Copies of this chain bind each other. A is one copy, B any other.
Amino acid sequence: MARKTGDIKFSKRGEALIGQEMFRLLDLSRNLEREGKHIYHLELGEPKNYKGAKNYPPGRVINKTIISLLNCDVGYTSSKGLPSLRQKLALYFSENFAKQIKTENIVISTANMLIYQVLDIICETNDRVILFTPAFPSYIASCRYIGATIHQVPLSIDDGFCLTKNNIDKAFSVKPKVIFVNSGNNPTGAVYDQETLKYLLEQAIEHDSWVVSDETYGMLSYQKEYFSMINLEYKKLVVISSFSKVFNIPGYRIGYAIADPIVIDKISLSSSTLYSSLPIFTQEGILDGISIIDNFAKDRKKYYKKLSNECMKILDKSNYLFYVRPESAFYLFIDIRKLKIDDKLFCSRLLEEYRTVVTPGTSFGYEGFIRASFCGNIDDVKKGLRQIVLFAKLLGGKENI
Interface residues of A (CB under 8 A from B): 5-8, 10-14, 17-20, 23-24, 26-27, 30, 44, 46-50, 56-57, 62, 65-66, 69-70, 72-80, 83, 110, 112-113, 116, 120-124, 127, 138, 141-142, 145-146, 205, 208, 234-236, 248-253, 260, 262-263, 266, 268-270, 272-282
Contacts and interface: CB of A to CB of B under 8 A. Distances in A.
A234 to B, nearest CB: 7
A155 B249 CA distance: 47
7 contacts: A5-B208, A8-B263, A10-B266, A14-B270, A66-B70, A75-B250, A112-B274
In the complex, the 5 A-B pairs of residues with the closest C-beta atoms, listed nearest first: A14-B121, A19-B272, A19-B269, A17-B269, A74-B251
B251 A19 contact: no
Nearest to A260: B8
A216 to B, nearest CB: 12
Given A46-B75, A74-B249, A252-B279, 9 more contacts: A5-B205, A17-B273, A23-B272, A50-B72, A112-B274, A113-B275, A141-B273, A253-B275, A274-B274
Given A116-B274, A121-B13, A142-B273, A8 B235 contact: yes
A208 B124 CA distance: 31
Contacts of A122: 10-11, 14
A289 to B, nearest CB: 12
Nearest to A120: B13
